[in-house]
Amino acid sequence: MPNTQETINLANTYILNTYKRIPVVFTKGKGTYIWDSDGKKYLDFFPGWAVSGLGHCHKRIVKAVSRQLKEIIHVSNNYYSYPQALLAQRLSSNSIGGKVFFSNSGAEANEAAIKLARAYGSEDGRYKIISMDKSFHGRTLATLTATGQEKVKKGFAPLPEGFCHVPFNDIDAVKQAIDDVTVAVMLEPIQGEGGINIADQDYIRQLRLLCNAKKILLIFDEVQTGMGRCGKLFCYQHYDILPDIITLAKSLGGGLPIGAMIASEKFADVLKPGMHASTFGGNPVVCAAANAVLDAIEKDRLLANANRMGDYLVKGLNKLKKKSPDVINCIRHKALMIGVELNIDGNQVVESCLEKGLLINCTQGNILRIMPPIIVNKGESNKALKILNEVIIAL
Ligand code: PLP
């Protein structure tokens, strides 16, 4: 096995330079912990950019995937496979009903949603999709156009037509943006990359009524908020409404690449054979992993744990805020989707935490994203709070 620097050199020589990487090589993970190639152990409170939502190498996932690997690895989508059919049934019956399209990533799940909305609108000439300022929906051309952040679009003109953006949590802005060609409104119930911005109850209620009245699809991007992160299986379940479409990815596969678009009954037959496809989408191995994720959430009562540990961590963070009101401005959270807004640059905090063996993230320059796996326990939370205390008090 090459040493740390050799791996970094190899990667820098041969991998396209599209990521800002931290010079750490990870070699092993178990639960809430991850080890680097020099043997250093870290508490992972931002596991795989919210992908390893059940922690690293969860037993149920390893077992289910190992078993599936010995049976069959790939079945193309012109045939059937049971893990895929079962996963679709479970996602549908645990959410808005209807049917599922499987992809390999969040951006592709959103592409599918955008295509479905356009296909639905094509019957009466509607195509425009309204999304939110500060949103993030992916890096393909359509999803980066839907994204409400200029930095992801720079250099890629001309962008697809038919997208517009409005401020988040502002129902009047949506009303004003709707015109004769509007077909969908797309949003994250909690903006992740945008800084843990939580949609208001009344805003979502009014959005649903508005979409009903105008025959506009309401698309919830739950790529980051889904699969128990916010204390319910899907974040929309905190609101008293049903979206027309939900998109998922990240922790759906417990670390394996899978995305999904769930379309409610009314829209489930808009896309007809030949209109959309993915060669790998819903492959039996990734579906076996996702079925194991659902098993773990149900059988190990992980939603209750996410709520309990979210409250516990936020209590600890609020104590820290009292000690350092000049550093911490406010804390926003739903279960284990936690944002700590700082009055200072957050990257220095992330770096100091890394040195002390705690992985977290900073978004929008000053918002710490703390999203431990939903299996996290009190002891691990105490360790993370201790490190955060040391780092913030020392500033
Ligand atoms: N949607 C949301 C809300 C996301 O947070 C992300 C990724 O961070 C995406 C879509 C894109 O997902 P992917 O990187 O799997 O394409």
Q: Tell me, what's the pLDDT at 235?
A: 98
pLDDT in tens, the chain (395 residues): 899 999 999 999 999 999 999 999 999 999 999 999 999 999 999 999 999 999 999 999 999 999 999 999 999 999 999 999 999 999 999 999 999 999 999 999 999 999 999 999 999 999 999 999 999 999 999 999 999 999 999 999 999 999 999 999 999 999 999 999 999 999 999 999 999 999 999 999 999 999 999 999 999 999 999 999 999 999 999 999 999 999 999 999 999 999 999 999 999 999 999 999 999 999 999 999 999 999 999 999 999 999 999 999 999 999 999 999 999 999 999 999 999 999 999 999 999 999 999 999 999 999 999 999 999 999 999 999 999 999 999 99
Pocket test for ligand 1, best of 250, 256, 261, 280 (most atoms within 8 A of CB): 250
Whole-angstrom distance, CA of residue 241 vs CA of residue 231: 17
Q: How far is the CA of 157 from the centre of ligand 1 (A)?
A: 21
Distance from the alpha carbon of residue 247 to the mean position of ligand 1, in angstroms: 10
Between the CA of 183 and the centroid of ligand 1 the distance, in Å, is 22
Burial class of residue 298 (count of CB atoms within 10 Å of its CB; 0-12, 13-18, 19+): middle
* CA-222 nearest atom, ligand 1: 3
Ligand 1 atom showing the smallest separation from residue 192 Cα: 5
4 Cβ contact list (under 8 Å, min separation 6): 23, 24, 25, 36, 37, 38
| Nearest one of 282, 367, 285 to 101, comparing CA atoms | 282
As given in the structure block, the two tokens for residue 295 are 């098993």
From 147, 143, 191, select the one nearest 369 (Cα to Cα): 191
pLDDT at 303: 98
**CA dihedral in degrees (101, 104, 108, 112; nearest 10)?**
-10
Q: Give the distance (Å) from ligand 1 centre to CA of residue 107.
A: 6
Residue 28 CB partners (closer than 8 Å, separation 6+): 34, 35
pLDDT at 367: 98
Nearest CA owner, ligand 1 atom 13: 106
Which residues have any ligand 1 atom within 6 Å of their CB?
105-107, 110, 136-138, 188, 192-193, 221, 223-224, 249
Instruction: Name which of 109, 117, 177, 118 is nearest 143 in CA terms.
Output: 109
Give the model's pLDDT for residue 1: 82
Architecture, CATH, for domain 72-299 = 3-Layer(aba) Sandwich (3.40)
Closest by CA position to 103, among listed 239, 241, 223: 223
The pLDDT, as a whole number, for residue 270 is 98
Integer-rounded Cα Rg, in Å, for the chain is 21
- Nearest CA-CA partner of 257 in 79, 45, 384, 105: 105
* 259, 109 contact by CB (below 8 A): yes
Residue 183 identity (one-letter amino acid)? V
Topology of the domain comprising 4-58+301-393: Aspartate Aminotransferase, domain 1 (3.90.1150)
Question: How far is the C-alpha of 13 from the C-alpha of 215, rounded, in Å?
Answer: 51
Residue 138 CA, closest ligand 1 atom number: 11
Distance 280 CA to ligand 1 centre (A): 18
Matching fold, domains 4-58+301-393 and 72-299: no
CA atoms within 13 A of residue 73's CA, in its CB half-sphere: 1
Q: What is the rounded CA–CA span in Å between residue 145 and residue 134?
A: 12
Pocket test for ligand 1, best of 136, 139, 141, 152 (most atoms within 8 A of CB): 136
Residue ranges per structural domain of the chain: 4-58+301-393, 72-299
The predicted pLDDT at position 171 comes to 98
Q: Which ranges of 78-153 would DSSP assign to H, the alpha helix?
A: 82-93, 106-121, 141-146
Query: How far apart are alpha carbons 87 and 68 in whole angstroms?
Result: 14
CA of 106 to the centre of ligand 1 (A): 5
